[in-house]
């Protein structure tokens, strides 16, 4: 069986996130949109993609995908948790209603692009 596989665009999301962190934190370069919204936009594809990899590895089924209901539930719960909870518990976080749109776009991207079964072709 080997290792679990995932769509190549998941790796682009991970790379984009890491590059932005290096540019923002180490090089001290700032782009307002990316600094404010890129983490929320890439959160769902990266997190759900990691969960998809884990489930494919554990279940040993490369064709396993997240059902729509599970994807929507995780996106909604995490968005509410991050946007409502974190700003109340930690002063370093701020509420931004646009982040809900970013979570939704990221979740949609995950579901339609990354959440694809890998099947052997003969």
Under-50 pLDDT residues of the chain: 1
Residue 118 has a pLDDT of 79
The whole-number pLDDT of residue 120 equals 67
What is the three-state SS of the chain?
A: CCCCCCCHHHHHHHHHHHHHHHHHHHCCCCCHHHHHHHHHHHHHHHHHHHHHHHHHHHHCCCCCCCCHHHHHHHHHHHHHHHHHHHHHHCCCCCCCHHHHHHHHHHHHHHHHHHCCCCCCCC
**What's the whole-model pTM score?**
0.87
Q: Are 79 and 16 in contact (CB under 8 A)?
A: no
């Amino acid at each position: 069986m080997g290792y679990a596989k995932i769509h190549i665009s998941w790796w682009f999301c991970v790379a984009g996130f890491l590059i932005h962190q290096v540019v923002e934190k180490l090089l001290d370069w700032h782009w307002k949109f990316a600094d404010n919204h890129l983490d929320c936009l890439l959160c769902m594809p990266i997190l759900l993609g990691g969960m998809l990899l884990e489930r494919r590895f554990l279940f040993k089924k490369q064709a396993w995908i997240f059902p729509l209901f599970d994807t929507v539930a995780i996106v909604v719960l995490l968005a509410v948790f991050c946007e409502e909870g974190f700003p109340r518990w930690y002063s370093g976080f701020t509420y931004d209603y646009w982040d809900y749109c970013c979570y939704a776009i990221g979740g949609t991207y995950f579901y339609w692009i990354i959440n694809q079964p890998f099947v052997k072709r003969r």
